[in-house]
Chain A
Amino acid sequence: MTHPARAGLVVPLRLEARSLNKRYGAQVALRAVDFELAPGEAVAVVGENGAGKSTFSKILAGAIRPDSGELRLDGQLLELRSPREALRAGISYIPQELAYVPNLNVADSLLIGRWPNRLGFTTRAAVRKEAARVADEFGVELDVRRPVSDLRLAERQLAEILKALARRSKVIVLDEPTASLTKEETLNLFRVLRGLCRAGVGVIFISHRLDEVFEIADRIVVLRNGAAVADVPTAETTTAQLIEHMLGVAIVRAERDVQAETAEPSSTQLPTLRVIGYSRPGLPDIRNLNFELRRGEVLGLFGHRGSGADVVADGLGGRIGDFEGRIECGGKEFAPFKNPGEAKRAGIGYVPPERKRDGLVLGMSIDANISLLVLERVSHAGVINRHTEQRQATEWRNRLAIRSKSVKQSVESLSGGNQQKVMLASRLEVHPIVLVLNDPTRGVDVGARAEIHKYLKEEATERGTAVLWITTDAEEAVIVSDRLLVMRDGEIVGELRSAAKTQANALALATEEVASTAVAG
């Protein structure tokens, strides 16, 4: 379907951005990005991790100010200094993680701060009636009397969209809204979004999932390294073309034919880690995963947010329970781990994705953080040998090039990349049989990232540690892995080896359902 705005009719633009620029220090996050959105149009913004999608959406949301460039809403120049101003202007941003007031019901939270009142008095009935009217108007099925805390994520999202509508927003920006939704919930969301478009609201849809983008968007904008490299009507493009734009390389068709690659066991030795029938109900359901990992091998596990790859990492690290299946590690068999201690004793070193929240004690020194997992080894009869501890930390500092003034410095005062290295050191000091990394370079600058890649490869080849590398970054997945598994909707949809192990194939498998039949390993 061609949108009226594209069909030559003169429709004033709802939202218009002209040469937006944003840089952080030496790094360019956005360069001269132009963007147009007509009333009632749905535009998808796609791109790899770090392409600038988040920066772009956060500029629209008023959370980040661009260095230069201008933004117009219905022809009027916008100067957004805060999220509040964006809201007032009529741009609603719906983030991935939704904040809410837990004790309010849907009606109250929908009309928060603008409850219908007479001289400051309001009644529950009046609030409920007004909220129900808004819901009705846009065809959203949601019981407005339910407490927000009882809603499922999909319903909370709908409530959030309703809130935007109640404010009479002209533009709604959704940041990866379907990452944690079921298929049905996604379809329902799309139905609501189409209703919005008919009512003249502009929808900006930021996503990883190309199949969904094709379903909802009138037009697709591709960002790469901060620049808008393509702006095409959905009807005139294909998944393959989009992936080419996202990666900046042409896909060689032949590479898709992976069946030719036969699985050759690289050695006769037993696998270091075998995961058998690994399953867990949840979002998404993890269904019967089977894979193995050999000594010295780096196995990549790539999947977008919501694919369940991170759930697998958390399970192998003993962080979350409720798994079924079996795990064989270092020649011994285990039931799925119920706590982090079990995983550690089985020989698994787990690197969680959020170092500040889950990986480090920020107020403690570098050496104390590095010995946190091996306290029994650096101590004698319960007394810590501080000399051993410091020597151990100094070795890691040299080996990983942790840039700090001393190992007694608190971890809080280090940069992100160096904090990440400290966390890695603490996990490697355990000398794990298997190292499970959950997005280990998130929020780490390019230099430190390359160092971490290099070091972990060495760890695998020189010490023989088996590494399971879970990532949402296709480029990283391809660079670091010897062999790459791709997950989608809780299942392993393919295995890529040698020549077939390309970003394009990984993305195709992760985003497109049809591909799974073509490239199944």
Chain B
Amino acid sequence: MAGTLRSRLPSLEQTVINGSQLLGVGGFFIALLIFFSFRATHFAESSNVLNILSNVAVVGVVALGQAFVLISGGFDLSVSGTVPLGGIIYVTACNDHYNMYVAGGLAILAGIGVGLANGLIITQIKINPLITTLATLSIIGGLAFVVSNGITITLNNPNQAPLGLNFAGVQIAVWLLLALSIGMFLILRYTVFGRMLYAMGGNREAARLAGLRVDVVTTTVYMISGGLSCFAGVMLANQLLAGAPTVESAANLQSITAVIVGGASLTGGTGGIPGTLLGALVLGTVANGMTLMQVPTFYQEIATGAILLLAVGLGWVRGLVQHAVWKHSREDQIAQAAIAGVVEDVSPDLNPTGGG
């Protein structure tokens, strides 16, 4: 019957629209790999591939938390403070002869604490997430300097850095990123909590009216982001055998870029873990390839910015496609709304649209 055939079409339509971003980024990633394989010496060697992966591991873990925050309609700039803080706490605790698991636990707890503070300020005092996390970024960044006296603290006992070691030829930090990604992917896709994030990011008031505890979920999301960032800091300390207040100062922009490149929107409700990982890989590959081509670091920053714009531009194109697909049904709705007299205000809307 034609009916059964037609009933399959929409999901196809939907898949094409949703998948276009991933396909686009995937294609871009492959193009990058091909380009650098030819132009950058040693790029395609296995040792360099492993190098890229271990570099991506830290930002990748931060980006996983950032993905949760962005999907739920928030924003976490403070990760650039929590990453070094996590590393410093870990190294300081280890040097004070704490067990490394205890040291790691302390670091993660500190990150969760930062997230709790972010969440409470955002939900209870109702300050915009951008401003809140900008302020906590400054505070936590300063705190990292205070704790470390502004200097790099080296890890006295290199045995306390197992995450920098290899397992089956690949660094343990990379395995951890993979494991965390799978876990987060399953949470987003299959659990009530994941569904709540998409609902809140898609329409916060509808989620609230549906009886979801949006404040609790929002706070939890920032706690996850804080905890993961500090854990990323621990991973970095394991790789560097040291903790310093100045590391990963661009973690916030890089993680946000990774999530957006992976198909999320700044207004929330969209995005996912595979895209985020792909986004992080794109950024890591560009940085690595350009370093091998001996391009100065500031050009890398220019490239990162260009990639972000490109990703947002792709999102815009995707929006146009959706609009074209659904234009017809929208026109119907507008016509009906007009008859019922609920057409929007005709006076020029001078209200600046709320940011964030």
Contacts and interface: CB of A to CB of B under 8 A. Distances in A.
Nearest to A92: B347
Given A63-B346, A359-B206, A379 B192 contact: yes
Nearest to A96: B345
B345 A99 contact: yes
Contact of B351 (A99, A343, A357, A413): A99
A460 interface: no
B342 to A, nearest CB: 5
B338 A361 contact: no
Interface string B187-200: 00011110110110
Contact of A49 (B340, B343, B351): B340
Given A83-B347, A383-B191, A414-B329, A24 B198 contact: no
A373 B195 CA distance: 11
B339 A24 contact: yes
Interface residues of A, number: 70
Contact of A102 (B190, B345, B351): B351
A300 interface: no
B343 A58 contact: yes
Contact of A24 (B209, B213, B270, B338): B338
B329 A415 contact: yes
Interface in A349-407: 350, 352, 357-364, 368, 371-373, 375-376, 379, 382-384, 386, 404-406
A324 B155 CA distance: 62
Interface string B300-337: 00000000000000000000000001100100110111
Given A382-B192, A409-B10, A444 B351 contact: no
B329 A361 contact: no
Contacts of A150: none
A442 B342 contact: yes
A100 interface: yes
B11 A408 contact: yes
Size band of the interface chain B makes with A: 35 or more
Given A340-B211, A382-B192, A362 B336 contact: no
Contact of B350 (A100, A382, A445): A100
Contacts of A50: 339-341
A372 B207 contact: yes
Nearest to B6: A405
Q: Which of A84, A97, A383 has the largest number of chain B CB atoms within 10 A? A: A383
Interface in B1-17: 6-11, 14
Interface string A88-102: 000001010111111
Given A55-B338, A372-B199, A406-B10, A360 B206 contact: yes
Given A25-B332, A382-B193, A49 B341 contact: yes
A23 B267 CA distance: 36
A230 interface: no
Contacts of A383: 190-192
Given A54-B338, A357-B205, A362-B203, A95 B346 contact: yes
Contact of A361 (B269, B326, B351): B269
A416 interface: yes
A426 interface: yes
Contacts of B343: 54, 58, 63-64
B210 A384 contact: no
Q: Which of A317, A405, A414 has the largest number of chain B CB atoms within 10 A? A: A405
B202 interface: yes
B208 A340 contact: yes
B349 interface: yes
Contacts, number: 171
B203 A361 contact: yes
A323 B119 CA distance: 29
A352 B209 contact: yes
Q: Which of A339, A344, A361 has the largest number of chain B CB atoms within 10 A? A: A361
Contacts of B207: 361, 372
A89 to B, nearest CB: 14
B123 to A, nearest CB: 13
Nearest to B11: A408
Contacts of B208: 339-340
Nearest to B346: A63
Interface string A54-97: 11001001111000000000000000000110000000010101
Given A364-B198, A364-B199, A376-B192, A83 B338 contact: no
B348 interface: yes
Given A55-B339, A99-B350, A416-B333, A364 B209 contact: no
A62 B346 contact: yes
Interface string B209-243: 11111000000000000000000000000000000
A29 interface: yes
Contacts of B193: 382
B220 to A, nearest CB: 13
Contacts of A245: none
A17 B297 CA distance: 68
A117 interface: no
Nearest to B186: A383
Contacts of A281: none
A170 interface: no
A331 interface: no
A443 interface: yes
A477 B203 CA distance: 30
B341 A55 contact: yes
Given A24-B336, A359-B206, A361-B203, A373 B211 contact: yes
A27 B343 CA distance: 16
Nearest to A54: B341
A53 interface: yes
B192 A359 contact: no
Contacts of B325: 413
6 contacts: A61-B346, A64-B338, A97-B345, A363-B270, A364-B269, A375-B192
Interface of A: 24-25, 27, 29, 49-50, 53-55, 58, 61-64, 83-84, 93, 95, 97-102, 317, 319, 339-341, 343-345, 350, 352, 357-364, 368, 371-373, 375-376, 379, 382-384, 386, 404-406, 408-410, 412-417, 426, 442-445
Closest 8 CB pairs of A and B: A54-B341, A24-B335, A63-B346, A361-B202, A405-B10, A344-B211, A341-B211, A416-B333
Given A27-B336, A383-B190, A384-B191, 7 more contacts: A101-B350, A361-B198, A361-B199, A372-B206, A372-B212, A375-B192, A415-B333
